[in-house]
Structure 1
Amino acid sequence: MSAIHLAIDGAMARITLDNPSKLNALTVQMLGQLEDACATLERDPLVRIVLITAEGERAFCAGADISGWGGLSPTDFARHWVREGHRILDRLAGLSKPTIAVLQAHAFGGGLELAACADLRIMAPGATLALPEAQVGIVPGWGGNTRLLRLLPEAVVKDMALFGRRVSAEKAQALGFAEVADNPLATAVAIAKEAMKASPRAHEVAKYQIHAAVGEDRNAMIEALGGGMVGATEDKAEGVSAFAEKRSPDFRGT
């Protein structure tokens, strides 16, 4: 049974975490489903914006399900759980379409790392953020001590990771990490509808530029921008035609 659902309604898509009995804690299966959802969205030219939501009133996501990694050997923990999870969250962060995370409740550990992958976050007033990994003997493995440092001050990340203290929605807003709204989903939908009035290609290129500038998968972003530039040229079309026709290309720099 799927615990991550993908719903596409015209130009707006919605990824929903649906494991409320475990506070939407991420399992191996959920990570695989998230990766599949990202692949589907990336290939759908009609989707222009993506919302990331969760079921239940107690948590957006309480982190990674300890039953999924607690019994792993150190090698398997590092090689599979940490690296695979990091790769999949990187895939979410690198989506070419704008993303909004809707935090109707708390986001802890892997849940906070998941929210950090979005381009915008909307939090309910009572939602909080935390990095509680040290309390179970591990450290953040999916961007909590790396990507999060581009979004929050070092002192705030240390406060969560070393001292176990939570960040309130009010503080998250003051730090520019999130916006606070009484109805986060309605607010996210309204923002998404307004954003869809703009050019999707301009959104895509702007996101690539920003990610390249801040170091979010910089090499891939730079190459994507370059590929887009040459892909629109007459020289590219000539090169493909010449290859198919088994002749020398006549490049003209256009």
Structure 2
Amino acid sequence: MSYNNILSEVTNGIATITINRPKKLNALNKETIQELHQAFDAADKDPNTKLIILTGSGEKAFVAGADISEFADFNVGQGQELAAKGQELLFDFVANLGTPVIAAINGFALGGGLELAMAAHFRIASDNAKMGLPETSLGVIPGYGGTQRLPQLIGKGRAMELVMTAGMINAETALNYGLVNHVTTLDDLMPFAEKLAGKIMRNSSVAIRSAIKAINANYEVGVNGFDVEIKAFGACFGTEDFTEGTTAFLEKRKADFPGK
């Protein structure tokens, strides 16, 4: 499939999705959000894809925010629809994807860009990265899940400060806050992401898909995450991956998971 604003390729089981609007610092517009949805959906349905790395083109920005020109004249109803549709199409979609998603933050991740990175299952950043939610400086608040995911990741107090000041933090501060898992040089960012991907891909893709669902359940209102875990744990016993994993362990050999 060809895209206007992103690049997507699969190599050795890793789908790399790159937001490719360098002249706009990879800002998110409606078309880009739709294309990202299509690319993530295609990767998740591809049996040859075991992991997805999301990054931005160039050396300046992962995603520098949303394309403000598209919604500067919106009314209340249009604003609500923009947030609802965006969350459904992309941000919540990515967060609940069964295929693991690593965000490789290679520069500015601001507004919708940071919200997209936070929707990924975890994040790594280059040492030149800057992150923030500057929406209050525009008279609006984060609308793609930022007010919910940021406090889950870094705590309520720090999230309140970051949103209210509309400030930016650097990669080292993001690491200390727990917003990112690792910081590397820009040159090492993608090789490091691929190394992490390799470690993940050695394990059962079926079990990982269930683990993502169980972990996410802890953050869903009205859902008992422990119950979800118990059911998912039991379901694993009926998979070919469980049979292979336990047999390989008892036979003292490396497991060759069929992904079923």
Tell whether the structures are fold-level matches, with TM greater than 0.5.
yes
- 1:96 matched to 2:98: yes
Alignment map for 1:79-228 (pairs within 5 Å): 79=81, 81-87=82-88, 88-178=90-180, 179-182=182-185, 183-215=188-220, 222=228
Identical aligned pairs, as a percentage?
A: 31
Unmatched tracts of structure 1, length 5 or more: 234-254
Write out the 4+ residue segments of structure 1 that deviate beyond 6 Å after TM superposition: none
TM-score (norm 1): 0.83
Distance in structure 1 (CA, Å) of the matches to 2:142 and 2:195: 33
Letter in 2 for 1:18: N
Query: Residues of 2 paired with 1:130 and 1:89: CA distance?
Result: 17
| Per-residue deviation, 1:67 | 1.2
Deviations 1:110-141 (Å, cap 9, x if unpaired)? 00000001112111112111110011111100
| Matched position secondary structure for 2:154 | coil
* TM-fit CA distance, 1:149: 1.5
Name the counterpart of 1:14: 16
Tell me the TM-score normalised to structure 2 length: 0.82
Distance 1:137 1:170 in 2: 28
Aligned length: 231
**Structure 2 segments unaligned to the other structure (5+ residues):** 240-260
8 Å CA contact 1:18–1:54 kept in 2: the answer is yes
The superposition leaves residues 167-187 of structure 1 with CA deviations (integer Å, 9 ceiling, x where unpaired) of 221111112221101121111
Deviation for aligned residue 1:42 = 2.2
Note closer, same or farther for the CA distance 1:42–1:216 as it changes in structure 2 (3 Å cut).
farther
In 2, the alpha carbon distance for the partners of 1:143 and 1:18 equals 23
Question: Greater CA deviation, 69-78 or 141-150?
Answer: 69-78
Structure 2 equivalent of residue 69 of structure 1: 71
Contact 1:49 1:196 in 2 (8 A): yes
Residues 26-45 of structure 1 mapped to structure 2, 5 A cutoff: 26-45=28-47
Cα shift at 1:5: 2.1
Query: Which digits, 9 at most, give the CA deviation of each residue in 1:186-233, with x for residues without a partner?
Result: 11011111211111111111111111123289599949x66x949x69
Quote how far apart the aligned CAs of 1:72 are.
2.0
The whole-number CA distance in structure 2 between the counterparts of 1:35 and 1:6 is 12
- Bigger Rg over Cα: 1
